[in-house]
Structure 1
Amino acid sequence: MKKNVNWYAIYVKARHERKVLEALLRKEIECYLPLRTETRQWSDRKKEVEEPLIRGYLFVRINIRSYYDVLVIPGVISFVAFDQKPAVIPDYQIEDLKIFLRDGGKDIEVTNEHIQKGQLVQINEGPLKDVIGEVTELRGKKRILIRIKALGCLVLAELGVNQIERFTEDTPMPSAKK
């Protein structure tokens, strides 16, 4: 086991996670990019693809003296820091991420959104796609009761937070279905 090494999170440019990962590995810097398997639908086929669990982030395990070796890699923006010091991530948290992702991570969702009762949301997937409603109740992590004014009813939907987004005046209105 290496001495004085810790895990740190780094911010990377959008959609550069794999390129930065390859560059880190070429420099023999221990790193981890949590990936999950998603099913993507195209007009003619479905395909399983691996996508970063946390977009824009990668994890490196380094001695703090290697700090600048990481920062000079093209695509790296900065270290995640608190009080202007790189934030140390305990080993067990990285191991927990690896355990969560062992089966492909299909049931794991990561979001910065905080959905609350009374909030207007727009549904992004499924048979209710583009419907806008008010969250009236949260039942666990995947069940949301939504009041849909236009229908005059409440709908209990099994939706993950990745299937809805907050609706604001700036949210583009759904185009008319043809």
Structure 2
Amino acid sequence: MIKEPISAGGRTIDATPEVKKWYVAYTLPKSEEKAQNQLEKIGIHCYLPMHRVIRNWSDRKKKLLVPLFPNYIFVNIADKKRNETFTVKEIVRYVSFGGKPAVINESIINSLQHILDKTMDIDIEKYVQPGVYVRITHGPFAGSEGVLMRRNGNTRLLVQIDALQQGIAVNISIDDISPLNIEKISP
């Protein structure tokens, strides 16, 4: 069903719902959590992936919850409302390519959330040229999508965030995957 503009008091109102997209915003150093809190206060949906790390000090070791991608936060917002994020002083700019803000495929956000919800160790990986895109069909990560790769003889799933040129990787069984017919997951 196509929604047509509605006339109200002499002005036309577009009745089509706004399509929200995921963008990557760059934050001030060590301001990711504050940016998340401020964005949520003004009603902007965002996602700040966090993971546990062990930090060593001279007298002790401590487990900390830190941003997976320092200085970055994912923002889910309609294109015409994108500038509202700049009312949050911790947001510096959007990650852009060719003058256009990079759009992150929702399946990437879903895969990040799904993997980070599990209590598995993850590794931060530098950008890897795309290989075979797969979906995990069985096990604790079933439904996650990413790039199949090998490291030290282990089969691993890499969830790439092209706009950040980083990703996360987890060990998987080759029996738990099925190939996807995707040449490239667009940023």
**Which TM class, normalised by the smaller chain length?**
0.5 to 0.7
Which residue number in structure 2 is paired with residue 97 of structure 1? Answer: 112
Whether the 8 Å CA contact 1:39–1:46 is kept in 2: the answer is: yes
Which residue number in structure 2 is paired with residue 120 of structure 1? Answer: none
Distance 1:111 1:51 in 2: 18
Which residue number in structure 2 is paired with residue 70 of structure 1? Answer: 85
Distance 2:152 2:102 in 1: 28
1:37 Cα deviation after fit: 0.4
Report 1:41-56 matches (<5 A): 41-56=56-71
Which residue number in structure 2 is paired with residue 26 of structure 1? Answer: 41
1:43 Cα deviation after fit: 2.8
1:28 Cα deviation after fit: 1.3
1:104 Cα deviation after fit: 4.8
1:95 Cα deviation after fit: 0.6
Call closer, same or farther: CA 1:52–1:68 in 2, change over 3 Å.
Answer: same
Distance 2:81 2:152 in 1: 39
1:46 Cα deviation after fit: 2.2
1:140 Cα deviation after fit: 2.1
Distance 2:152 2:43 in 1: 39
Call closer, same or farther: CA 1:6–1:46 in 2, change over 3 Å.
Answer: same
Which residue number in structure 1 is paired with residue 151 of structure 2? Answer: 140
Higher strand share goes to which structure?
2
Which residue number in structure 2 is paired with residue 86 of structure 1? Answer: 101
Count, aligned residues = 118
Any stretches of 5+ residues in structure 2 without a counterpart? 1-16, 130-149, 155-187
Distance 2:46 2:94 in 1: 13
Which residue number in structure 1 is paired with residue 26 of structure 2? Answer: 11
Which residue number in structure 2 is paired with residue 152 of structure 1? Answer: none
When the two chains are superposed, the root-mean-square deviation of aligned CA atoms in Å is 2.5
Scaled by the length of structure 1, the TM-score of the pair is 0.59
AA aligned to 2:41 is: R
Distance 1:39 1:140 in 2: 23
| SS state at 2:77 partner | strand
Which deviations, in whole Å up to 9, do the C-alpha atoms of 1:81-113 show, x marking residues without a partner? Answer: 122111111110101111221235632214369
Which residue number in structure 2 is paired with residue 106 of structure 1? Answer: 121
| SS state at 2:62 partner | strand
Scaled by the length of structure 2, the TM-score of the pair is 0.56
